[in-house]
Amino acid sequence: MAVYLDNNATTPLRPEVWEAMAHVEFGPHMLRNPSSLHVAGVAAQRAVAAARAQIAASVGAAPDEVVFTGGGSEAINLAIKGAVWGSRIAMPHAISTTIEHHAVLHALDWLRSTGVATTLVPADSRGVVDPAAIADAMGEWTVLVSVMHVNNETGAIQPVEEIGAICRERGVLFHVDAVQAVGKLPVDVRQIGCDLLSCSAHKLGGPKGVGALIVRAGTPLVPLVHGGSQERGLRAGTENAQGIVGFATAVALAESERERNWAHWLSLRPILYRLLDDIPDVRLNSDPDSTVPNCVNLSFAGCDGMNLAMNLSAKGVYVSTGSACTAGDVAPSHVLKAMDLTDDEAKSALRFSMGASTTAAEVERAAETTRAIVERLRAVNGV
């Protein structure tokens, strides 16, 4: 059996989620449009409304503050572009960080091409952003700050509550990318103090193709998708009732198991940390005290991360690298580079990300296989 340790990329669909979605597909709400006025449509509306309330409760929001989208990237784009456009300021300025997901960075790149001013605040060597640096970057025309809650590559937890307090004091909208946080950490939009919060179903055992943006009441936001009046006019298009119900089911399960999963990951993480002692010249690319314990990012000197991942895959161990592959060219991870790693250190990185069902035996096998492959590749490379 394969060992799957790439849960930060996507998680397997949970059986309970599949059952809930099948009930919508083949049960009393099957193939009905939730916007229809007939009895079958109303039944689908009720299923979506119950799911909306479940997701809202999980993050401390009101049900009418939940806007369903086609995934986390769409939710992030709606938050960033919609808030900047919604500011109605002639020369708006947006702030984010150097360690964000590409959905954030590329959205800002596009806005920059339209004349919007942007600032990327650096992270420290732990991959954590200093709230004071966010404050220092703010100016008269700053309309939005966007910071992720948990980094997808290193698991580093960002001080979003402190940043939220600064944004409230300055009257600046605050977006939190919580795609990697919901279901792992307690997430409460009121406590964080954010105006916008994005999340995604497939990161916590739900289906792909559905996400949500929490929009605080009164937040000015311009929609990206125009058409019907669904989602309070902020996201046109017939709601994905099956996916939305699956999303809510996954959230409920993740929340009910959150503390247990956290303890479980804490018990498994030392198995991977042993690689730091068992193999020379291995670097831990995170601070254990400020990361979500399901994610361990390690650099193996003298090895290429892509080659390592491919060799592990051939042995039935699935992990990811710290690199992004674009058009066949492998570039060092922008997150690891932002943490002051060299190109070689960044290119030699592997990310091990555990899920709710990951076992100690699986992590042991992954560690043993990694150890053997690193030793073999270093011998071949003369390291």
- Tell me the domain boundaries of the chain: 3-9+258-381, 15-253
> Residues 172-205: pLDDT tens digits?
999 999 999 999 999 999 999 999 999 999 999 9
In this predicted structure, what is the pLDDT of residue 381? Answer: 79
> Catalytic site residues?
325
Average pLDDT for 121-131: 97
- Rg over alpha carbons for the chain, rounded to the nearest Å, is 21
> Residues 326-357: pLDDT tens digits?
434 578 999 999 999 999 999 999 999 999 99
> Residues 255-271: pLDDT tens digits?
999 999 999 999 999 99
Question: Which residues lie below 8 Å from residue 85, measured CB to CB, with a gap of 6+?
Answer: 222
In this predicted structure, what is the pLDDT of residue 45? Answer: 85
Q: ∠ at Cα 287 (284, 289), nearest 5°?
A: 140
Q: What CATH number has the domain spanning 15-253?
A: 3.40.640.10
196: tokens are 């916008």
CB 116, CB 94: distance < 8 Å: yes
Q: What CATH number has the domain spanning 3-9+258-381?
A: 3.90.1150.10
| Cα–Cα distance, 166 to 281 (Å, whole number) | 40
CB 82, CB 223: distance < 8 Å: yes
In this predicted structure, what is the pLDDT of residue 329? Answer: 53
| Cα–Cα distance, 142 to 194 (Å, whole number) | 15
> What does the mean pLDDT of the chain come to?
94
% of the chain with per-residue pLDDT over 70: 93
| Cα–Cα distance, 315 to 304 (Å, whole number) | 17
Q: What's the burial of 154, exposed, middle or buried (CB within 10 Å: 0-12/13-18/19+)? A: buried
Residue 323 has pLDDT above 80, yes or no: no
| Cα–Cα distance, 67 to 77 (Å, whole number) | 13
Average pLDDT for 221-249: 95
In this predicted structure, what is the pLDDT of residue 38? Answer: 46
| Cα–Cα distance, 164 to 196 (Å, whole number) | 11
* Cα separation values, 66 from 20, 61, 104, 213, 244, Å: 20, 8, 20, 6, 11
| Cα–Cα distance, 319 to 340 (Å, whole number) | 23
Question: Which residues lie below 8 Å from residue 382, measured CB to CB, with a gap of 6+?
Answer: none
Strands 317-318 and 211-215: unpaired
In this predicted structure, what is the pLDDT of residue 39? Answer: 47
Amino acid at 195: D
Average pLDDT for 310-315: 98
Half-sphere exposure of 177 (CA within 13 A, CB side): 28
Residues of 89-114 as b/e, b for ≥16 C-beta within 10 angstroms? eeebbbbbbbbbbebbbebbeebeee
Residue 58 has pLDDT above 70, yes or no: yes
CB 176, CB 50: distance < 8 Å: no
> Residues 62-93: pLDDT tens digits?
999 999 999 999 999 999 999 999 999 999 99
